[in-house]
């Protein structure tokens, strides 16, 4: 079945550092891939998405590229801010999973000033 | 455009009490979901409704029931609450492009 594996946290960085959160997936079909972000006390919200191989999703300085050959969708940001402190979830959805989204376990990011 | 709304925001129950968590979306989405989120466990799917009139079990359905009242509303019922059901509950709905839209959550404590 479909699955998502992302790096364990927490990840602690200083402001302006480079961020990478690794995500790999297993899927039988051709999934759409997503990164969601959850700020303290809130629900998840979509950060970015990619729907086919080699697509790059981007938003708020974050980027992720859909790599079919390595089944990966790593999240990157060139210069993190304190306000980026949150939990980040990698996820996939496709028609073979019915109408369900498969989420990774989440990676907590702390950014220090 | 409110998106996905959930009520209540907080609730404390005693063991054995019942309650219903309400969820509504105004985006005309067909599919709706209930998740629970526990520390260190990520999100776990309780039940989902692919379309109005259908519901299906997710990963952790025991102790819960759901009702898809109409296209907008999807409720989650705890018939006899247990301390193991202490959690944060999120409702979500899905666009045709598979993007999920989440409500703000209900924080439930069962004592």
Residues in chain B closer than 8 A to A46 (CB atoms): 99-101
Residues B29 and B95 sit within 8 Å (Cβ to Cβ) = yes
Residues in chain B closer than 8 A to A43 (CB atoms): 4, 90, 92, 102-105
Residues A66 and A52 sit within 8 Å (Cβ to Cβ) = yes
- Asked if B102 lies within 8 A of A45 by C-beta distance, the reply is yes
- Asked if B99 lies within 8 A of A103 by C-beta distance, the reply is no
* Burial class (CB within 10 angstroms; exposed 0-12, middle 13-18, buried 19+) of B108: buried
- Per-residue pLDDT 10s for chain B (111 aa) are 689 999 999 999 999 999 999 999 999 999 999 999 998 778 999 999 998 989 999 999 999 999 998 999 999 999 999 999 999 999 999 988 889 999 999 999 999
Residues B111 and B14 sit within 8 Å (Cβ to Cβ) = yes
* SS3 state at A1: coil
Q: Which pLDDT tens digit goes with each residue over A29-47? A: 789 999 999 999 899 999 9
């Amino acid at each position: 079945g479909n699955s998502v594996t992302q790096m364990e946290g927490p990840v602690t960085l200083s402001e302006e550092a480079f961020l990478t959160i690794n995500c790999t997936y297993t899927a039988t079909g051709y999934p759409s891939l997503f990164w969601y972000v959850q700020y303290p006390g809130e629900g998840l919200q979509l950060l970015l998405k990619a729907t086919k191989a080699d697509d790059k999703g981007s938003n708020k300085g974050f980027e992720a590229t859909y790599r079919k050959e390595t089944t990966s969708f790593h999240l990157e940001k060139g210069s993190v801010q304190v306000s980026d402190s949150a939990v980040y979830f990698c996820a996939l959805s496709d028609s073979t999973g019915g109408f369900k989204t498969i989420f990774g376990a989440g990676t907590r990011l702390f950014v220090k000033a | 455009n409110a998106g996905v709304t959930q009520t209540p925001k907080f609730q404390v129950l005693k063991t054995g009490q019942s309650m219903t968590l309400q969820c509504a979306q105004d985006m005309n989405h067909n599919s709706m979901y209930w998740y629970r989120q526990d520390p260190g466990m990520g999100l776990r799917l309780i039940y989902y409704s692919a379309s109005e009139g259908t519901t299906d079990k997710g990963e952790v359905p025991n102790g819960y029931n759901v009702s898809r009242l109409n296209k907008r509303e999807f409720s989650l019922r705890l018939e006899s609450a247990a301390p193991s059901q202490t959690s944060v509950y999120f409702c979500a709905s899905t666009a045709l492009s598979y993007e999920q839209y989440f409500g703000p959550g209900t924080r439930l404590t069962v004592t």
